[in-house]
Amino acid sequence: LEFRRVLFRSGGIVSLCLFWLIMVLGLIALVLFPDKFKECAHGAAAILMLSAFVATTFCTAYVVGKEDPSESAHQRAYKRIYWGIAWLMLATSLLVLWAHHTKRLEGHWGLWAEVALIGEFAGYWIVQTIDLWKEPDRIMRFTKGPPPCL
């Protein structure tokens, strides 16, 4: 029952369709273009994973902004922190893409970019852990029910 409730909300079905689209396209690429797939698979997986991190931070920032401030003692501060981390992660991602396409950087720059984004996401995760320590379910913080994306 819980699975269906989450799945059939607007964000759940979109996420599921996007997941399957990525899986099918990856399988097609593997079967039809195995050499190119082997060459590009790690980069594509890194882009998808790090993009999911960035999307997660933006979704959290949006949802926290919809919470009832009386239900969360520091809701405004957390909202600002989440938005800050989200924009920082997006800026880091765009800077990495720009540097990659304009400077043709060689060496371990990609590793350092991944480390930076994973570190930023770890910061987000620490903030979220502190935010949700006493009440891990955000739904309890909405007086009029959860926003449409939950």
Q: Give tens-digit pLDDT for 8-18.
A: 555 567 777 88
Q: Is the pLDDT of residue 95 over 80?
A: yes
Q: What is the pLDDT of residue 120?
A: 94
pLDDT tens-digit map of 103-140: 666 667 767 778 888 999 999 999 999 988 888 777 77
CB 98 within 8 A of CB 90: no
